[in-house]
Amino acid sequence: MKYIEEFREQGLARNIAANIAAEVDPGREYRLMEFCGGHTHAIFRYGVQDLMPGNVGFIHGPGCPVCVLPMARIDLAIRLLREENVILCIYADLLRVPASGRQSLMKVKAEGADVRMVYSTQDALKIARENPGREVVFFAIGFETTTPPTAVAIRQARAENLGNFSVFCNHVLTPAAMTGLLDAPRAAGEEPVQIDGFLGPSHVSSIIGSRPYEFVPERYGKPVVIAGFEPLDVMQATLMLIRQLNEGRCEVENEYTRVVSREGNRKACDLVEQVFEVREQFEWRGLGHIAHSALRIRPEYADLDAERRFAALADADALIAADNKACECPSILRGAKKPVDCKLFGNGCTPETPMGSCMVSSEGACAAYWSYGRFRQDAQAASA
Amino acid sequence: MKYIEEFREQGLARNIAANIAAEVDPGREYRLMEFCGGHTHAIFRYGVQDLMPGNVGFIHGPGCPVCVLPMARIDLAIRLLREENVILCIYADLLRVPASGRQSLMKVKAEGADVRMVYSTQDALKIARENPGREVVFFAIGFETTTPPTAVAIRQARAENLGNFSVFCNHVLTPAAMTGLLDAPRAAGEEPVQIDGFLGPSHVSSIIGSRPYEFVPERYGKPVVIAGFEPLDVMQATLMLIRQLNEGRCEVENEYTRVVSREGNRKACDLVEQVFEVREQFEWRGLGHIAHSALRIRPEYADLDAERRFAALADADALIAADNKACECPSILRGAKKPVDCKLFGNGCTPETPMGSCMVSSEGACAAYWSYGRFRQDAQAASA
Amino acid sequence: MTSVEKRFPGRLPIRDGKVDMSHGSGGRASAQLIEELFLRHLDNDLLRRGDDSAQFGVPAGRMVMSTDCHVISPLFFPGGDIGALAVHGTLNDVAMSGATPLYLAAGFILEEGFPLADLERIVAGMAAAATAAGVPVVTGDTKVVEKGKGDGVFITTTGIGMVPPGVEIAGDRARPGDAILVSGTIGDHGVAIMSSRENLEFDTTITSDSAALHTLVAQVLGAAPDIHCLRDPTRGGLATTLNELARQSRVGMRIRESGIPVRGAVKSACELLGLDPLYVANEGKLVCICPAPQAAAALAAMRAHPLGGEAAVIGEVVEDPHHFVQMETTFGGQRIVDWLAGEQLPRIC
Amino acid sequence: MTSVEKRFPGRLPIRDGKVDMSHGSGGRASAQLIEELFLRHLDNDLLRRGDDSAQFGVPAGRMVMSTDCHVISPLFFPGGDIGALAVHGTLNDVAMSGATPLYLAAGFILEEGFPLADLERIVAGMAAAATAAGVPVVTGDTKVVEKGKGDGVFITTTGIGMVPPGVEIAGDRARPGDAILVSGTIGDHGVAIMSSRENLEFDTTITSDSAALHTLVAQVLGAAPDIHCLRDPTRGGLATTLNELARQSRVGMRIRESGIPVRGAVKSACELLGLDPLYVANEGKLVCICPAPQAAAALAAMRAHPLGGEAAVIGEVVEDPHHFVQMETTFGGQRIVDWLAGEQLPRIC
Amino acid sequence: MCLAIPGEILSIDSDADTAVVAVGEVSKSVSLALVGEVAVGDYVLVHVGYALERLDPAEAEKTLALFAEMGGQAEAAP
Amino acid sequence: MCLAIPGEILSIDSDADTAVVAVGEVSKSVSLALVGEVAVGDYVLVHVGYALERLDPAEAEKTLALFAEMGGQAEAAP
Ligand code: SF4
Ligand code: SF4
Ligand SMILES: [Mg+2]
Ligand SMILES: [Mg+2]
Ligand SMILES: [Mg+2]
Ligand SMILES: [Mg+2]
Ligand SMILES: [Mg+2]
Ligand SMILES: [Mg+2]
Ligand SMILES: [Mg+2]
Ligand SMILES: [Mg+2]
Ligand SMILES: [Mg+2]
Ligand SMILES: [Mg+2]
């Protein structure tokens, strides 16, 4: 597969690893946060950590839309199913995310709620067309990457006069999350997390470009390298960060130039701009309420906005759901803890029985650690 | 079972048979029509014919509401299911009745139509209560016996304000059918059927009493004996008819005095009167259109009348469906032919694959003949 | 080598949990369902191995194999449940060849959302029936279908057994002159099921006759080794079974209504609903056809068995090119007892 | 005696008819469905007898029995249909004990309204698969459930077979040092199924690998008689099967990603949908674990069989108290290959 | 037509206007909406879940007596 | 997050604003609503049934060339 397999090539990996090994300063630690779950996944899936010197460590960031979705939003979707008897269209990633009271969309589906898994917003529109007598709601989640397809669907529903379709919007904004992340420890009164630099979002940046991250070096003094999701991309971006740190540079660089430009995809951004507006604030799991960090549907499309359309969502903003107290997702999403620091990890919380959202998405730090990395933990424990 | 088993007792049957044998005039034929399918069923089920002298013959009448229901009414019900997506509640008897184009409610149910079998009108009301988002239609069929329970349901729906319930009324009137039957041959230009007397309706008469049949001896000069549905009732009533004929009497007698009075059940009749009114005319399978032979829902209950409520039934009265041409049901229902006179009998038409309605109901002459009497036909054929 | 593996993260929530799609995925949730629910009740050495098949020794001889899908509603009824029924239904088909049943396989198709507590009751019912019959469930399979694509639980069981030497039982062996017996009252199962259906609810003391008949068969074969046909009159009842046998053997049958054992409550329920007990299902009765001279011995053997106390001779096999089953009614008349047309459903007329 | 009985009033309307409740009633409509559809395709001496069980001779020895419920969607897919799959799925479970399959039983649960024409295609598919495998369907059962209480067709098949003397195959026999082989490319079946699912539709030349593996097994056993484990990596794919065997045998496994045969199109489809071929179902592949010295002979025997041309040694059994399956990635790293959590579903992240 | 069967009233629920009726060895709740005053011990004709009409035991006796009248007794002897 | 994968445009349906895109050996129809002018032979990034953005082959080559730069070659030799 062109533009995929070349970026997973073992010989090149050894070469980049050699470059990194040659260039790292053995006298210091490099604590690099990979912002996206896609990076986390590549690191674990391919064993990238094994190719790194001991003083280069990855901190897993909050860049997984499933992991950062607050439980209250799933609770609201369940309410919508139970009280309004809608057909709820979801991306399959949402199916197992824990809601309050040990519920999940999978469980309410098993009890008879009409939850349909879709691959694309086009499928949701199709379901609406095929069920004119039912209300069909698309549960929109995702970062800037996944938002434009939702915008297309909303405009298409309007054009087709599809009266039974609406969208429960949960799209969030990554630059705001970075702000939240960098401000959070201070806000929470915690020790600031030691992050030396960021591997910046890959596919998000294909839409918004690299420019929106420039505030990170400017305001927070941390270098950013936009990195693709293939393992060689991650390694090369790591090398680029190490070089910035070694050279005392602090800027936004772009490793993923084959897709990402500084400006991004104007057509997609314009579409998003027409349909959505920025919310005052929105809750992120682990990061709390972050100002201007999410999108809502513009008043011009109010009829397509499930939050305005259904009584069950009337107090959507007000609903707060308390996460399992022992779950360390919040700290993990902030990079302050590792999955193994959680008492529940493997001890009640596994991918089959996730207690926190980081265990659900295969891009979540806990799930990635569980599925690919456990033997390391045991090896460490054994050797300790 | 009290009041059941005593009326099936073999010793008494032999006694009545002996009385009949002793009293028949060997020089004449006794051609007696048992009006009701209930009688037909008893005759075949218990082999009553075997106990009769050769010159006493039973002609099977039209007294089975399934058999006389014109095909167009099933077609309308199917239209209601397909075009209005209703839940249609039916008595199971209707499931296999042939509709146009080799359809039946069973087949459209198999294709996904929501047909529910109920035992009682109370079940239909319950289904309406449990499905507030759906239109629930009760397909009401039956003679005067089955009409009062429909009236109760309609009044109850009104009292409960059950906005999603309605009734597709197909209730018909037996005295009118007797008129139609006695007039039909003349109207059709056929030879008048030779009927010497009638075994009159049993359970119908428990509601309307025996008086409504008095026009039969008066106007048509045929004796009537109201007869219960147990085999001894049928035999005793046969004896009573033979006696009237032998003695030259011609009146309405009542064998079924344990249940039937001359006046009937006033309370039930009043309820029916409040809810229903007589139709100008109605089609009976086999008998054609008969004036004042059926009921419709009164305008006061128009909202509960499916014929007024659904566009799919707007032209209900106008719809005519052509029966299978080879099917002799019409002549059989008029007593002009026997099931074995039909070319299709056992030859494409069986209870599993009914082509006419007389093969569907176990009270239909063809079905009764098939299920209980075929060996006689073969015995006759063998000895011929 | 000691295992430090933690098998499952928590216990299966049998009390208030529900079947979900992951229980059918073949992954760890499936494994847990099998281990903590199925194996706990059905446990035996062969099943516990956890391979995709069971392995056991068999002697040389004639084997029989039979399979039945169980799709009943309601799943729990007076006198039993679908689990026990799935054992009896298949064991009886094996026994109707005269065989001694050896082993059972069970396939479960579960509907998403089905309560685990109900599933446990059903599996416990199956285990109790298998234990009582002395025939273990040695292999199985579980699949989960989406809500609305199943109906709670469907169970398909398959049984194997060995036929003793000399026994030759088949549906085509009825001969004119043979006697026809039933092992007890008919219609009990069907009436018990109907009495617990929503909308039909009526009160009766009738319970299903669901039972395993292989020991009864063995006892009858001991007394009357030349039995020609055995069949359990399940779906479609006695009437359907007699018609099947008449067709297979190309004979007719004559039975006497007065000789057919029917419980009073079954008669009553049938009157109420407009049904005929001859067409109502049984799950613990058999029809036996044997040479007339052996009828008395067969009858006595049945009556000596706890499941055959009300056995009766009900008629005889005759020549008939139409393969009709005819019945002399209690009233003294003759009628045909035909195949069942469609389902038996409560009627208004 | 000649029969004048007219069996059925008309022919079964296979071209445009639909399954209705009467086809499951056990009455004449059921009999007609069996005779004119099932028997016509699956015909053999044992099935034709029409008894409720099949009877056949068996030699003394070790028998295996296995059952599988098939509940797939869509029912027809590139390279097969549920009928053929129901034959292969169960024959393979029998074959995975090293046995020679003898006979099959098949139970059909049909949803009211299912087109008879589709049912005929499925039964024809089953018949073709059974004939090709040389294993007849000798007994069966058919039930009909109401519309909305099933999903077209569910088929439960049960198979029996005899294990040749000396063969000892079981899931708990893997030993540290043993070699792990697969008989060919993985993921073909699952990808073929997904490519024909509504909403996912993508174009690919991939067809299901659905096939009966017993002749391949016989050939491998001929070359390497001391095979320890055989298993077909169906639901849950290769990853799940290896985890099952590791748990049963209380060992660990180490495999090499580069050694696992995966077709390009399967890799592509998995990339597109965010799936991992290790978890995608197969229906014509097996995992074989044998002492390392026999691995070469087993591999050669597989490759010499038409169904094993792309067989490969993919790793070895190791000691591991965690029973982990670990994999060396093509990238040179190490990862755990864990049990599948839930279903494999297309993801957005 | 009109499958209806006599049953004995075992108990009456006046509020619901229903009665439990025994038909032989089974019993069932039926509506009393169509009949006037009835009492426990009365027999009623049951049809589609409703009591249709009372059954008169005295008339039943008379009818059975009619059946037993031996007009043709000579030939009736077995 | 954001599973997206490069595919080659095989054909374009301008009316429907969709393209058939090949990812290795499979192909799938995707929406072009989010991208500007594209041509057959272009590579686009596919996400949830949409083409998100064009992929620049020249930049891809450059990046691969970067990976191959042998700063640490001494230790990289096997
Ligand atoms: S292991 Fe589970 S409970 Fe613990 S932090 Fe991760 S997701 Fe939360
Ligand atoms: S046998 Fe069939 S076709 Fe002929 S009259 Fe009777 S119902 Fe009609
Ligand atoms: Mg069977
Ligand atoms: Mg059975
Ligand atoms: Mg049987
Ligand atoms: Mg299995
Ligand atoms: Mg259901
Ligand atoms: Mg199996
Ligand atoms: Mg299998
Ligand atoms: Mg298997
Ligand atoms: Mg069967
Ligand atoms: Mg369905």
Query: Where are the extended beta strands (E) located within chain D?
Result: 54-58, 61-70, 76-77, 80-81, 100-111, 137-145, 153-163, 179-182, 229-231, 252-256, 287-290, 312-318, 325-328, 334-336
The full set of domains in chain E, from first to last, is: 5-76 (2.30.30.140)
CB contact under 8 A, B375 and C348: no
Q: What angle do CA B364, B370, B375 make, to 5 degrees?
A: 145
pLDDT by residue (tens digit) across B224-244? 999 999 999 999 999 999 999
F38: CB partners within 8 A, 6+ apart: F9, F12, F19, F32, F44, F51, F54
pLDDT tier at E75 (50, 70, 90 boundaries)? very low
- Quote the CA–CA distance of C243 and C287 in Å, as a whole number: 12
Using a threshold of 3 CB pairs under 8 A, tell whether chains F and E touch. Answer: no
CA of C138 to the centre of ligand 8 (A): 11
State CA B136 to chain mean position distance: 25
State CA D80 to chain mean position distance: 11
CB contact under 8 A, A353 and C147: no
**How close B206 gets to chain E, by Cα (Å)?**
7
* Omega before D115 within 30 of 0, i.e. cis: no
Count Cβ atoms within 10 A of the Cβ of residue B379 and give its class: 0-12 exposed, 13-18 middle, 19 or more buried. exposed
CA of C155 to the centre of ligand 3 (A): 13
Please name the residue that has the structure tokens 């989640």. A141
Report the DSSP beta bridge partners of residue D181: D288, D313
- For C179-336, CATH number out of 3.40.50.1580, 3.30.2290.10, 3.40.640.10, 3.90.650.10 equals 3.90.650.10
Using a threshold of 3 CB pairs under 8 A, tell whether chains A and D touch. Answer: yes
Indicate which residue's Cα is closest to atom 1 of ligand 2: B345
pLDDT score for D310: 98
Using a threshold of 3 CB pairs under 8 A, tell whether chains E and B touch. Answer: yes
Please name the residue that has the structure tokens 């074959």. D95
Q: Report how far apart, in Å, the C-alpha atoms of A71 and of each of A81, A181, A316, A334, A361 are.
A: 16, 19, 12, 17, 14
- Quote the CA–CA distance of D71 and A23 in Å, as a whole number: 57
Q: Are F26 and D269 in contact (CB under 8 A)?
A: yes
pLDDT score for B332: 85
pLDDT score for A185: 65
Local confidence pLDDT in tens for the 349 residues of chain C: 455 566 777 789 999 999 998 898 888 888 899 999 999 999 999 999 989 999 999 999 999 999 999 999 999 999 999 999 999 999 999 999 999 999 999 999 999 999 999 999 999 999 999 999 999 999 999 999 999 999 999 999 999 999 999 999 999 999 999 999 999 999 999 999 988 887 777 888 899 999 999 999 999 999 999 999 999 999 999 999 999 999 999 999 999 999 999 999 999 999 998 889 999 999 999 999 999 999 999 999 999 999 999 999 999 999 999 999 999 988 877 888 988 776 777 777 7
Beta strand A252-254 with A224-226 is: parallel
What values do phi and psi take at E20, rounded to 5? -90, 125
The number of the ligand 1 atom at minimal distance from the alpha carbon of A349 is: 2
Q: Are A211 and A263 in contact (CB under 8 A)?
A: yes
Mutate which: D253, D319, D347, D348, vs A, most A CBs within 10 A: D348
Q: Are B113 and B81 in contact (CB under 8 A)?
A: yes
pTM of the model: 0.92
State CA C19 to chain mean position distance: 26
Minimal Cβ distance to D335: which of A45, A361, A362? A45
**How close D254 gets to chain A, by Cα (Å)?**
12
Q: Is A162 in the pocket of ligand 1 (CB under 6 A)?
A: no
Minimal Cβ distance to A149: which of F5, F48, F76? F48
- Quote the CA–CA distance of D292 and A220 in Å, as a whole number: 58
Closest ligand (CA of D53) = 3
The residue whose CB lies within 8 Å of the most ligand 2 atoms, and thus the one to mutate among B358, B362, B369, B374, is: B358
- Quote the CA–CA distance of A297 and D122 in Å, as a whole number: 49
A91 CB neighbours in chain D (<8 A) are: 347-348
Tell me how crowded residue A366 is: count the other CB atoms within 10 A of its CB.
Answer: 31
Q: Report how far apart, in Å, the C-alpha atoms of A312 and of each of A76, A83, A106, E51 are.
A: 7, 7, 20, 46
Q: Is A323 in the pocket of ligand 1 (CB under 6 A)?
A: no
**How close C26 gets to chain B, by Cα (Å)?**
32
The number of the ligand 2 atom at minimal distance from the alpha carbon of B370 is: 1
Indicate which residue's Cα is closest to atom 7 of ligand 2: B356
C263 CB neighbours in chain E (<8 A) are: 25
Q: What angle do CA C45, C49, C54 make, to 5 degrees?
A: 80
Q: Are D94 and D66 in contact (CB under 8 A)?
A: yes
pLDDT score for B64: 87
Q: What angle do CA C46, C50, C55 make, to 5 degrees?
A: 40
Residue of D nearest to A63 (CA): D349
Structure tokens at A130: 């095929």
**How many beta-carbon contacts under 8 Å exist across C and D?**
277
| Closest by Cα among A20, A62, A23, A18 to A237 | A20
Q: Which of A110 and D82 is assigned the larger pLDDT?
A: D82
**How many beta-carbon contacts under 8 Å exist across A and D?**
93
Segment among B146-160, B339-353, E64-78 with least mean pLDDT: E64-78
Is D271's Cβ below 8 Å from some Cβ in F? yes
- Burial per residue of C137-175, b for 16 or more beta-carbon CB atoms within 10 angstroms, e otherwise: bbbbbbbbbbbebbbbbbbbbbbbbbbeeebebbbebbe
| Closest by Cα among A126, A148, A128, A144 to A136 | A128
pLDDT score for F77: 40
Is A4's Cβ below 8 Å from some Cβ in D? yes
pLDDT by residue (tens digit) across A295-339? 999 999 999 999 999 999 988 888 887 778 888 888 888 778 889
Report the DSSP beta bridge partners of residue C115: C18
CB contact under 8 A, D9 and B106: no
Q: How many H helices and E strands in chain E?
A: 2, 5
The secondary structure of residue D139, as a DSSP letter, is E
* Omega before C74 within 30 of 0, i.e. cis: yes
Beta strand D137-145 with A288-291 is: unpaired
User: CATH homologous superfamily for D3-163?
Assistant: PurM-like, N-terminal domain (3.30.1330.10)
pLDDT by residue (tens digit) across C234-263? 999 999 999 999 999 999 999 999 999 999
Q: Which of B336 and D51 is assigned the larger pLDDT?
A: D51
Minimal Cβ distance to D343: which of C21, C68, C247? C21
The number of the ligand 1 atom at minimal distance from the alpha carbon of A332 is: 5
Using a threshold of 3 CB pairs under 8 A, tell whether chains D and F touch. Answer: yes
Q: Are C52 and D231 in contact (CB under 8 A)?
A: yes
F24 CB neighbours in chain A (<8 A) are: 1, 4
pLDDT score for B336: 81
Beta strand C252-256 with C312-318 is: antiparallel
Local confidence pLDDT in tens for the 78 residues of chain F: 478 999 999 999 999 999 999 999 999 999 999 999 999 999 999 999 999 999 999 999 999 999 999 876 544 444
- Quote the CA–CA distance of C121 and C119 in Å, as a whole number: 5
Closest ligand (CA of B353) = 2
The number of the ligand 2 atom at minimal distance from the alpha carbon of B328 is: 5
A38 CB neighbours in chain D (<8 A) are: 349
Q: Are A256 and A149 in contact (CB under 8 A)?
A: no
Q: Tell me the DSSP string of C43-92.
A: --HHHHT--SSEEEEE-SEEEEEEEEEE--SSSEETTEEHHHHHHHHHHH
> Based on C-alpha coordinates, what's the Rg of chain C?
22
Structure tokens at B138: 């009760």
pLDDT score for A9: 92
Minimal Cβ distance to F25: which of D264, D347, D348? D264
pLDDT by residue (tens digit) across B61-109? 888 888 889 999 999 999 999 999 899 999 998 998 989 988 999 999 9
Structure tokens at A200: 């910046």
Q: Are D191 and D265 in contact (CB under 8 A)?
A: yes
The secondary structure of residue A131, as a DSSP letter, is -
Q: Where in chain C is the domain with CATH 3.90.650.10?
A: 179-336
The secondary structure of residue C99, as a DSSP letter, is P
Q: Report how far apart, in Å, the C-alpha atoms of A28 and of each of A196, A235, A298, F6 are.
A: 11, 19, 49, 37
- Quote the CA–CA distance of A59 and E21 in Å, as a whole number: 76
Q: Is A355 in the pocket of ligand 1 (CB under 6 A)?
A: yes
Q: Report how far apart, in Å, the C-alpha atoms of A109 and of each of A41, C19, C142, D72 are.
A: 28, 11, 20, 19
Average pLDDT over residues D306-325: 96
A48 CB neighbours in chain D (<8 A) are: 331, 333
Collect all residues from D whose CB is shorter than 8 A from any CB in B: 6, 8-10, 18-22, 27-29, 112-113, 147-148
- Quote the CA–CA distance of C149 and D86 in Å, as a whole number: 19
Alpha-helical segments (H) within chain C: 28-33, 39-42, 45-48, 82-95, 116-133, 188-195, 214-223, 237-249, 264-273, 292-303
> Based on C-alpha coordinates, what's the Rg of chain F?
16
The secondary structure of residue A47, as a DSSP letter, is T
Please name the residue that has the structure tokens 């002298």. B53
pLDDT score for C247: 94
F72: CB partners within 8 A, 6+ apart: A15, A17, A18, A19, A20, A21, A22, A23
The secondary structure of residue D38, as a DSSP letter, is I
Is F24's Cβ below 8 Å from some Cβ in D? yes
Q: Are B274 and B155 in contact (CB under 8 A)?
A: yes
CB contact under 8 A, D347 and F3: yes
E3 CB neighbours in chain B (<8 A) are: 38
- Quote the CA–CA distance of A197 and A244 in Å, as a whole number: 9
Largest CA distance in chain E: 56
CB contact under 8 A, E25 and C204: yes
CB contact under 8 A, B123 and C338: no
Q: Is A286 in the pocket of ligand 1 (CB under 6 A)?
A: no
CB contact under 8 A, E43 and B257: no
What's at D124, amino acid-wise?
Answer: A
Q: Report how far apart, in Å, the C-alpha atoms of C208 and of each of A160, B137, C81, C117, D117 are.
A: 58, 35, 9, 22, 37
Average pLDDT over residues E60-77: 79
Residue of F nearest to D346 (CA): F48
